[in-house]
Amino acid sequence: MIVIGGYNSSNTNNLAKIAAGFTPTFHIEDAAAIRSADEIRHKPAGGKEEVLTLGWCPPAARTVGIAAGASTPNNQIGETIDRIVSFRGKMSLETLLGAH
């Protein structure tokens, strides 16, 4: 799960904590935090400091959840989706997001 929004946002931090109870979760501030299909800069749910994680999106992953804080601009959400899609080759956006 990717949660997009400011690290100081109470709303976004709560979204990340909830998601982390169910699945690996990466709280990012913007699309630039996704360095590649292997590297992501993020703040772990409940954490204080940004970290770099390798292997965040395994090649076999078929679905990536995306959530955003209430004040996260739509363009930041779109840029994040575009960035993830760019790393997943020819996989369609619908497949990536689990749409039917």
Report the 10 Å Cβ neighbour count for 77. Answer: 19
Distance between CA atoms of 54 and 50, rounded to whole angstroms? 13
First to last CA, the chain: 19
Provide the whole-model pTM: 0.85
Confidence of residue 85 (pLDDT cuts 50, 70, 90): confident
Cβ atoms of 73 and 80 within 8 Å: the answer is no
Per-residue pLDDT at 100? 45
pLDDT of residue 65 exceeding 50, the answer is yes
Going along the chain from its start, the domains and CATH numbers come out as: 2-97 (3.40.1010)
H helical segments located in the chain = 10-20, 74-87, 93-97
Which one is predicted more confidently, 47 or 94? 47
pLDDT of residue 34 exceeding 90, the answer is yes
* Mean pLDDT along residues 67-95: 82
Per-residue pLDDT at 58? 82
What is the residue-averaged pLDDT of the chain? 88
Sign of CA dihedral 70, 76, 79, 85: negative
* Mean pLDDT along residues 59-66: 84
